[in-house]
Amino acid sequence: MGFLILVLTSLLTFVLGYLRHCYNYWELQGVPQLRPHFIYGHFFKLKSLHLSELLQETYDAFKGKARLAGTYLFTRPIAVVTDLDLAKVILIKDFNKFVDRSSSASLNLQDNPLAGHLFNLHGEEWRALRTKLSPTFTSGKIKYMFSTITEVADQLQQTFDQEVGDDGAVLELHDLLGRYTIDVIGSCAFGVKCNSLKNPQAEFRVVGRKLFNNPKFNVRWALFRMTYANLFRKLPIKFKSFGQEHTKFFLRLVQDTVDLRERENIKRNDFMDLLLNLRKTGESSGLSVEQLAAQVFVFFVAGFETSSSNMSWALFELTKNQSIQAKLRDEILSVLQKHGKLTYEAMMEMTYLDQVVNETLRKYPALASLTRIPAEDYKLPSDDESNSDGHIVLERGIKVHIPVRAIHYDPEIYPEPHEFRPERFEPAATQQRHPLAFLGFGDGPRNCIGLRFGRMQVKVGLITLLAAFQFSQKGSEIPIVTNSHFVLVPKNGVKIRVDRLPADWWSDYKSRQV
**Measured distance CA(179)–CA(174) in Å, rounded:** 9
Beta bridge partners of 393: 379
Q: Give the three-class secondary structure for 363.
A: helix
**Measured distance CA(197)–CA(175) in Å, rounded:** 10
Exposure string (b/e) for 104-139, b if CB count within 10 Å is 16 or more?
Answer: eebbbeeebbbbbbbbbbbeeebeebeebbeebbee
**Measured distance CA(369)–CA(319) in Å, rounded:** 28
Annotated binding site: 448
- Among 32, 150, 122, CA closest to 80: 32
Sign of CA pseudo-dihedral 85, 89, 93, 95: negative
Strands 399-402 and 76-81: parallel
**Measured distance CA(204)–CA(209) in Å, rounded:** 9
Length of the chain: 514
Residues in contact with 288: Cβ distance below 8 Å, sequence separation at least 6, in sequence order: none
Q: Give the three-class secondary structure for 371.
A: strand
Exposure string (b/e) for 415-429, b if CB count within 10 Å is 16 or more?
Answer: eebeebbbebbeeee
Strands 469-472 and 495-500: antiparallel
Instruction: Return the number of other C-beta atoms located less than 10 Å from residue 400's C-beta.
Output: 21
- Among 503, 450, 505, CA closest to 130: 450
Annotated binding site for heme: 448
